[in-house]
């Protein structure tokens, strides 16, 4: 939450709290799907995970969670390439770790 306050400086506390709540909901909904896609390597789930990591990355950058945003973008690029998924597990584990504090 402190990172969000820094990134969103100038916004009322209530607005920052609302954005943080929305992001926590997003992480709680989307991250488990990304984890499942990585575990199963199911092509349909990987397609859904592509959208999820794109959204998580955008939202993370807005809230000042820049490392999570960078990892999400790397995951997105990997999934878009749809060829060599050897880094998938490592990137997903890093994203999971970066967003752990946002899960409900």
What would the pLDDT profile of 28-76 be if each residue is shown by its tens digit?
Answer: 999 999 999 999 999 999 999 999 999 999 999 999 999 999 999 999 9
The pLDDT assigned to 2 comes to: 63
The pLDDT assigned to 5 comes to: 64
Question: pTM of whole model > 0.85?
Answer: yes
Contact 59, 21 (CB under 8 A): no
Band (82; pLDDT cuts 50, 70, 90): confident
Measured distance CA(42)–CA(46) in Å, rounded: 6
The pLDDT assigned to 1 comes to: 60
């Amino acid at each position: 939450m402190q990172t969000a306050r820094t990134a969103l400086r100038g916004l009322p506390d209530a607005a920052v709290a609302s954005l943080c709540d929305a992001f926590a909901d997003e992480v709680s909904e989307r991250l488990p799907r990304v984890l499942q896609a990585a575990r199963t390597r199911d092509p349909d789930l990987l397609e859904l995970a592509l959208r999820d990591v794109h959204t998580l990355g955008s939202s993370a950058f807005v809230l000042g969670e820049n490392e999570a945003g960078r990892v999400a973008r790397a995951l997105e690029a990997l999934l878009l390439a749809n060829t060599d998924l050897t880094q998938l597990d490592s990137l997903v584990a890093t994203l999971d770790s970066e967003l752990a504090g946002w899960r409900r």
